[in-house]
């Protein structure tokens, strides 16, 4: 219906309306249930149909209404997810992951509640007209005065409050979007934040976002408090109006005959006008805001469903005969129509079928944009694009999702054992799978956090290769792997396994260009040159020398044989997808048993000090005393002569949708006028105190919510990296979005309602005890029965609610993973598969939610049945006993039983709801107990000098590293020393422990033994102090959505001229407009190489004595690599530099080389010395690069060895 609405709107040139689509889909069933609700509220209850039958009718529509809301929510979630899969790149840039998470966690949840109340918008006016008629029949024209008075004090006030609430709701949603977006970025980049010691700035950013959010939430809560207060005192004021009317001379003679009818009808009006109708319009207003936000998202720009093109000028031809290959003619493209300059300009490219085309170019040259254009992600503004066949795509940044290694490779494709084994072999994954604890059934964490960079890259490549297509678009898959593995991938995979396929290889590894059929050189979005290897070598372009320098010999047969043997062991893969154990270390833990009292205590203790809590308790008690005082005042005001038998005082609800009978007391002796004055005083006091206590209570709850959020965030920020490796981002975001949303808005309301009902019950019990203490006996029996039923319900509902919370997390994790891998999903045409996976996660959550609704309905029905049975017992007991009891006391016994009966029912429901909502507090508190990193502050006695480290000497003293206590050591007995200002290269096969060495230096995991910097044990230094004095350029450059200034210096410690100087040093000054240039989420408005240069600028700004390069130049072209290496030599010549690298030429000029294998140091010496030993690991690695390259590397090492090493202090 939504797609039909879009189609019709386009024809009528109108804006599509999501509400209209929802109405078409669910309107008929919702109207039918609304008709049942109308019959119950207006017709059946008027004609005194039996209570049991009424409760059965009520339970039928009460059960069905929230299910309709659930179906609307599920439908909206589904179209949101499918919309994400169609979002254009430009729309993705405008849409943060946090915003979408908020849409799915908070906005759509409004439908679960609005459907329960919405029908009262039209039922209330009809009900008011009918009741007004009956009151007019009983008392004449005075009915209009009473009805008008109740109407004026409820409907206009509540309508105004609801209007304000809807405005605040939009502000809350926007500010929650901002906070969740920020949280999403922090979780994704947490390792970089920790290594840069940037926790404090990000903590301030989140606290500021939370402060802005909670400010609006608090305002909305105060309005909600006034709304609840109105619900309480409007009943009392309506009775006050009733009494005042009855006190007029006109009604003196009819007082005893009209009291019952007046009180009954005014209470029905009070329920409709003060409770049901305001609740309906408030939820309707909030739902309207949510529908508008959902609609705005659904109307974002998307790719074309047929050809994935946005611009009709772009002619895409899908030529299935495979004779075309790829042809771009005069192609120009840009990200948005508003952009002035084209991203790609005048591209002319023809790739013949079955040929290999290599694309090279400097950082920011447009290689990635050209790939997106072929994939249909980037629209052409001019020219045409012809693609002959299907495309398989391997992204530059590996994308993995939570699942087994095999699932990541197959990605929805049928399992073909023979092809699968071939792909595993040619992608050099055999040895890795042997080392994994469960082979290819090993669970891969989100973004592949449990794998090394090379393993992620090869699994990402294997996914593209396994898919049998006509064209393979491989975006730099060779940079993240070792030299010999890269050679294997190129020879066995790209050149051999994919032979006769059309291949486009974007690469910075120039040694492979000789084997390419066609080479394209891109620069500044234009093709600078193209041709064969020989043609470009003979040309006069700047790349000619680089092409020659990157030349690599074919390996000799012995080298090939050695590599083949290394990669040849048989991999253990299961023939059947269902066989084999899947080790899911990432399963979310679930609490069991009853809700602990400590959860309630910690919640309220977070809200304020004990003194304030005591004051709040006193205000609640005083408010109830004022409310009970009204009853006493009204008791006293009845005239003995006219009311000698009974006096009707009040009615009360028996549940959220019903009411019961009246309170009856014996008359008092106070003068009527005096009693009316007393009653008036209590009414005014009740209105004032009830309003004050509601606002006061919400203030305490908002403080608690703020403290809980900040505490949880502080604990998450201080958590170990192991926590983030084992918990997907969706699971963590679930706590910060859905659970915090419940703590912010739903829990305080449920708590206040519950407390108010409990206080009213206490007031009734007190009054009953004063009038007739024998009535306590049947009430205690009833209370016991309700308590037992509640105990059975809560025990079940509490665990179901926990399960519901846990089954919600995979929905967000899947959403987050899909947004990260959107290009790969669309290129693999896996939209249907991931949509089904999303639906399965939703179905699982729906099962838990459905159980929640069913148990709640069953609980309500049992309470109703017990109420009917108990009332019958109390009533018939007087007939059976046949006592001479005073009639007023008999009436009092029955009425008080009914009142307390209704109160207990409502109270039981509310206490159960509070327990359910407190589950969110419990889940938030769980994250305050996560394992934290060691001391953040250095002990004063052990504090190193302020200028530490001054030399940069590093010593590993029998150091072992574990990622968890139960795991075996990843690094084993490392024992070596790095002298000040030495340049050390760290090499080893993928998974050898090179990156773990960096984790050890930054203390990101458990250490045994010591690491000393300038003779200071880093274990005694606070983590911020340690990490802030070591600079790093990480393997995966991370930028945050903030200004460029904040990305370089979030502490604002350095002047602008120093930041500009750093940008100038890395040649980025011309690429940005200023330090206030805004960086998009994930740095998407920078290329991968430019992001790496920003990280280099950070290191230059900090100017520490120790610099770590974690494969920092793996994804940049040789020119940029040479530029970065030159900048490092120039800027950090007096610093200790540790370089992890796959390109051996980048570390051959190092003073020392550390060779790692299986977590151990196997060699540590000058590269020239290591090369003298033909049996050394390092010698074999160099020889595997080929004869010519090996000779060049030998020469570089020999020349550097001849230079004297100057020790700098």
Q: What is the mean pLDDT of residues 446-468?
A: 84
Backbone conformation region of residue 256, classed left if phi is above 0, alpha if psi is from -120 to 50, else beta: alpha
pLDDT in tens, 129-177: 888 887 777 666 666 776 777 787 777 877 787 778 878 888 888 898 8
Phi then psi for residue 342, to 5 deg, are -75, 140
The gap from C-alpha 825 to its chain's centroid, in whole angstroms, comes to 20
Q: Are strands 443-444 and 356-360 parallel, antiparallel or unpaired?
A: unpaired
**Range with the largest mean pLDDT of 189-203, 371-385, 615-629, 659-673:** 189-203
Q: In 3D, which of 1179, 1180, 1096, 1110 has the Cα closest to residue 1146?
A: 1110
Q: Where is 1153: in which H helix or E strand?
A: strand 1152-1157
Residue 715: pLDDT above 50?
A: yes
pLDDT above 90 as % of the chain = 18
For the chain, domains (ranges, CATH) are 2-302+598-814+838-926 (1.20.1560.10), 311-390+500-554 (3.40.50.300), 1032-1103 (3.40.50.300)
pLDDT tens-digit series, residues 755-786: 888 887 777 677 666 656 666 777 777 778 87
Q: Which residues contact 732 (CB under 8 A, 6 or more apart)?
A: 183, 187, 716, 724, 927
Residue 1001, pLDDT score: 92
Across 48-52, 484-488, 791-795, least confident range? 48-52
**Mean pLDDT for the stretch of residues 834-857:** 90
Average confidence (pLDDT) over 268-275: 74
> Could you read off the pLDDT of 906-935 as tens digits, one per residue?
777 788 788 888 989 999 999 999 988 876
Average pLDDT over residues 975-989: 90
Q: Tell me, what's the pLDDT at 259?
A: 53
HSE on the CB side for 373, CA within 13 Å?
Answer: 34
Q: Are 221 and 1060 spatial neighbours (Cβ–Cβ below 8 Å)?
A: no
Using H for helix, E for strand and C for coil, what is the string for 934-976? CCCCCCHHHCCCCCCCCCCCEEEEEEEEECCCCCCCCEEEEEE
- Output b/e per residue, 1073-1110; b: 16+ Cβ within 10 A: eebeeebebbbebbbbbbbbbbbbbbbbbbebbbbbbb
Neighbouring C-alpha atoms within 13 Å toward the C-beta of 622: 15
Please name which of 469, 482, 215, 237 lies closest in space to residue 1177, comparing C-alpha atoms. 482
Match 């200023």 to its residue by tokens.
Answer: 1074
Q: Residue 713 pLDDT more than 90?
A: yes
For residue 587, the model assigns a pLDDT of: 55
Distances (CA, A) of 195 to 469, 1000, 1030, 1037: 42, 11, 8, 12
Q: Are 268 and 131 in contact (CB under 8 A)?
A: yes
> Considering Cα of 209, then 213, then 214, then 215, what sign does the dihedral take?
positive
Q: How many CA atoms lie within 13 A of 698 on its CB side?
A: 27
pLDDT above 70: residue 515: yes
Read off the tokens for 1154: 């550390």
- Residue 450 near residue 437 (C-beta atoms within 8 A): no
Q: Which residues of 1128-1153 are buried (b: 16+ CB within 10 A; e: fewer)?
A: beebbeebbbbbbbbbbbbbbbbbbb
Res 497: pLDDT: 92
Start-to-end CA distance of the chain, whole Å, equals: 74
pLDDT for 291 equals 92
- Rounded Cα distance between 834 and 408, Å, is 12
pLDDT by residue (tens digit) across 880-900? Answer: 655 554 444 555 556 555 666
Alpha-carbon distance values, 742 to 146, 166, 397, 412, 918 (Å): 38, 17, 36, 36, 9
- Average pLDDT over every residue of 235-264: 55
Q: What is the pLDDT of residues 596-639, one digit of tens each?
A: 888 989 999 888 888 888 888 888 887 777 665 544 444 444 43
The SS3 call for residue 404 is: strand
Residue 637 pLDDT: 45
| pLDDT reported for residue 463 | 93
**For 13-18, what is the mean pLDDT?**
86
The CA distance from 920 to 922, in Å, is 5
Going by the DSSP 8-state scheme, the letter that residue 323 receives in this structure is S
Mean pLDDT of 88-101: 77
Q: How confident is the model at residue 3 (pLDDT cuts 50, 70, 90)?
A: confident
Neighbours of 926 (CB within 10 A): 17
Choose between 1002 and 937: higher pLDDT: 1002
Contact in structure between 1131 and 1061 (CB atoms under 8 Å) = no
Give the span between the Cα atoms of 230 and 155, in whole angstroms.
Answer: 10
Predicted confidence (pLDDT) at residue 1058 exceeds the cutoff of 80: yes
Q: How far apart are CA 183 and CA 887, in angstroms?
A: 66
CB-CB contact of 476 with 366 (8 Å): no
Those residues whose C-beta lies under 8 Å from the C-beta of residue 533, and which sit 6 or more positions away, are 513, 514, 516, 519, 547
Under a CB-based contact definition with an 8 Å cutoff, are residues 225 and 612 in contact?
no
Question: What whole-number distance in Å separates Cα of residue 295 and Cα of residue 313?
Answer: 28
Residue 1152 has, within 13 A of its CA and on its CB side, a CA count of: 18
**pTM (predicted TM-score):** 0.75
Do residues 620 and 231 make contact, with C-beta atoms less than 8 angstroms apart? no
- The DSSP symbol for 233 reads H
Q: Which of 573-587, 869-883, 940-954 shows the highest mean pLDDT? A: 940-954
Collapse the DSSP code of 138 into the 3-class scheme (helix H, G, I; strand E, B; otherwise coil) and give the result. Answer: helix
Tell me the average pLDDT across 1082-1097: 84
- CA–chain centroid gap for 1066, Å, is 35
Mean pLDDT computed over 85-91 = 83
């Amino acid at each position: 219906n939504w797609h039909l609405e879009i189609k019709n709107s386009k024809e009528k040139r109108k804006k599509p309306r999501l509400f209209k689509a929802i109405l078409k889909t669910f309107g008929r069933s919702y109207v039918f249930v609304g008709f049942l609700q109308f019959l119950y509220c207006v017709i059946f209850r008027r004609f005194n149909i039996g209570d049991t039958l009424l409760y059965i009718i009520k339970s039928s529509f009460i059960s069905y209404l929230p299910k309709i809301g659930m179906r609307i929510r599920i439908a909206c979630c589904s179209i949101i997810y499918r919309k994400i899969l169609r979002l254009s790149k430009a729309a993705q840039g405008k849409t943060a992951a946090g915003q979408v998470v908020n849409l799915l966690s908070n906005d759509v949840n409004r439908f679960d509640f609005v459907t329960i109340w919405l029908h009262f918008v039209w039922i209330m006016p009809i009900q008011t007209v009918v009741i007004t008629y009956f009151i007019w029949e009983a008392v004449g024209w005075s009915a209009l005065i009473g009805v008008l008075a109740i109407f004026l004090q409820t409907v206009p006030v509540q309508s105004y409050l609801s209007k304000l609430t809807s405005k605040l709701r939009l502000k809350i949603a926007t500010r929650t979007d901002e906070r969740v977006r920020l949280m999403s970025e922090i979780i994704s980049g947490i390792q970089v934040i920790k290594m840069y010691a940037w926790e404090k700035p990000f903590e301030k950013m989140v606290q500021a976002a939370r402060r802005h959010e909670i400010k609006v939430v608090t305002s909305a809560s105060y309005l909600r408090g006034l709304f609840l207060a109105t619900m309480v005192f409007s009943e009392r004021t309506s009775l006050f109006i009733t009494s005042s009317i009855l006190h007029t001379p006109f009604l003196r003679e009819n007082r005893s005959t009209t009291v019952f009818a007046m009180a009954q009808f005014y209470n029905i009006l009070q329920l409709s006008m003060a409770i049901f109708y305001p609740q309906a319009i408030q939820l309707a207003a909030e739902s309207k805001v949510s529908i508008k936000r959902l609609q705005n998202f659904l109307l974002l720009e998307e790719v074309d469903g047929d050809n994935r093109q946005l611009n009709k000028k772009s002619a895409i031809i899908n030529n299935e005969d495979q004779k075309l290959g790829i042809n771009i003619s005069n192609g120009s493209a840009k990200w948005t129509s508003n952009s002035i300059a084209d991203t790609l300009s005048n591209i002319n490219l023809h790739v013949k079928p079955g040929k290999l085309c290599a694309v090279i170019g400097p950082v920011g040259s447009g290689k990635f944009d050209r790939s997106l254009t072929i994939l249909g992600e980037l629209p052409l503004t001019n020219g045409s694009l012809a693609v002959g066949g299907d495309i398989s795509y391997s992204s530059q940044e590996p994308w993995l999702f939570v699942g087994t290694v095999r699932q990541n490779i197959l990605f929805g494709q049928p399992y073909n054992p023979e092809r699968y084994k071939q792909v595993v072999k040619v992608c050099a994954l055999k040895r890795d799978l042997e080392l994994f604890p469960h082979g290819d059934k090993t669970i891969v964490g989100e973004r592949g956090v449990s794998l090394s960079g090379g393993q992620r890259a090869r699994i990402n490549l294997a996914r593209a290769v396994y898919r049998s297509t006509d064209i393979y678009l491989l975006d730099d898959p060779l940079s993240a792997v070792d030299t010999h593995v890269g050679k294997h991938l190129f020879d066995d995979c790209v050149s051999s396994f994919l032979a006769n396929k059309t291949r486009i290889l974007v690469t910075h590894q120039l040694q492979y260009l000789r084997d390419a059929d066609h080479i394209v050189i891109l620069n500044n979005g234009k093709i600078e040159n193209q041709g064969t290897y020989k043609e470009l070598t003979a040309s006069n372009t700047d790349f000619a020398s680089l092409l020659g320098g990157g030349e690599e010999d074919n390996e000799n047969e012995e080298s090939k044989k050695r590599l083949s043997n290394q990669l040849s062991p048989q991999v253990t893969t299961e023939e059947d997808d269902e066989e084999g154990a899947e080790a899911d270390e990432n399963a979310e833990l679930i609490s069991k048993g009853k809700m602990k009292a400590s959860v309630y205590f910690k919640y309220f203790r977070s809200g304020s000090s004990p003194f304030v809590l005591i004051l709040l308790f006193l205000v609640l008690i005083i408010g109830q005393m004022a409310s009970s005082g009204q009853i006493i005042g009204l008791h006293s005001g009845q005239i003995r002569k006219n009311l000698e038998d009974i006096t009707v005082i009040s009615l009360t609800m028996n549940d959220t949708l019903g009411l019961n009978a009246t309170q009856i007391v014996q008359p008092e002796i106070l003068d009527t006028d005096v009693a009316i004055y007393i009653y008036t005083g209590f009414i005014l006091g009740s209105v004032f105190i009830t309003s004050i206590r509601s606002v006061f209570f919400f203030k305490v709850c908002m403080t608690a919510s703020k403290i809980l959020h900040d505490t949880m965030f502080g604990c998450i920020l201080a958590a170990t990296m192991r926590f983030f490796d084992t918990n997907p981002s969706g699971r963590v975001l679930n706590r910060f979005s859905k659970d915090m949303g419940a703590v912010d808005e739903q829990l305080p309301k449920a708590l206040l309602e519950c407390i108010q009902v409990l206080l009213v019950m206490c007031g009734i019990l007190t009054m009953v005890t004063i009038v007739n203490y024998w009535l306590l006996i049947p009430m205690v029996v009833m209370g016991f029965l309700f308590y037992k039923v509640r105990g059975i319900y809560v025990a079940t509902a509490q665990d179901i609610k926990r399960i519901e919370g846990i089954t919600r997390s995979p929905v967000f994790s899947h959403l987050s993973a899909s947004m990260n891998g959107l290009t790969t999903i669309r290129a693999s045409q896996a939209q249907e598969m991931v949509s089904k996976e999303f639906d399965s996660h939703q179905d699982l959550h729906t099962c838990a939610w459905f159980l929640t609704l069913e148990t709640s309905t069953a609980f309500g029905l049992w309470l109703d049945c017990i109420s009917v049975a108990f009332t019958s017992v109390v009533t018939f007991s007087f007939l059976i006993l046949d006592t001479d009891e005073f009639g007023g006391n008999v009436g009092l016994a029955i009425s008080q039983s009914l009142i307390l009966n209704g109160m207990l029912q409502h109270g039981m429901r509310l206490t159960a709801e509070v327990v359910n909502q407190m589950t969110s507090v419990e889940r938030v508190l769980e994250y305050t107990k996560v394992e934290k990193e060691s001391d953040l502050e250095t002990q004063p006695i052990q504090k190193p000098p302020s200028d530490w480290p001054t030399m940069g000497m590093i010593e590993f003293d029998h150091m072992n590293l574990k990622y968890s206590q139960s795991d075996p050591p990843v690094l084993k007995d490392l024992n070596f020393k790095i002298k000040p200002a030495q340049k050390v290269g760290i090499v080893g096969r993928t998974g050898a422990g090179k990156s773990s060495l960096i984790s050890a230096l930054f203390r990101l995991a458990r250490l045994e033994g010591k690491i000393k910097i300038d003779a200071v044990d880093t274990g005694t230094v606070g983590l911020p102090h340690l990490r802030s004095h070591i600079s790093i350029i990480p393997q995966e450059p991370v930028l945050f959505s903030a200004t460029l200034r904040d990305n370089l210096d979030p502490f604002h410690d350095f002047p602008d001229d120093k930041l500009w100087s750093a940008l100038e040093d890395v040649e980025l000054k011309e690429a940005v407009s200023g330090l206030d240039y805004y960086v998009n989420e994930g740095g998407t408005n920078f290329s991968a190489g430019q992001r790496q240069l920003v990280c280099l600028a950070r290191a230059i700004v900090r100017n520490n004595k120790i610099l770590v390069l974690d494969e920092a130049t793996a994804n940049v072209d040789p020119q940029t690599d040479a530029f970065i290496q030159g900048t490092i030599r120039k800027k950090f010549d007096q610093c200790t530099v540790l370089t992890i690298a796959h390109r051996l030429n980048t570390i051959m000029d190092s003073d020392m080389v550390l060779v790692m294998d299986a977590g151990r140091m196997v060699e540590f010496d000058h590269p020239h010395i290591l090369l003298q030993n033909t049996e050394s690991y390092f010698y074999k690695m160099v020889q595997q690069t080929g004869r010519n390259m090996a000779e060049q590397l030998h020469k570089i090492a020999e020349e550097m060895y001849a230079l004297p090493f100057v020790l700098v202090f």
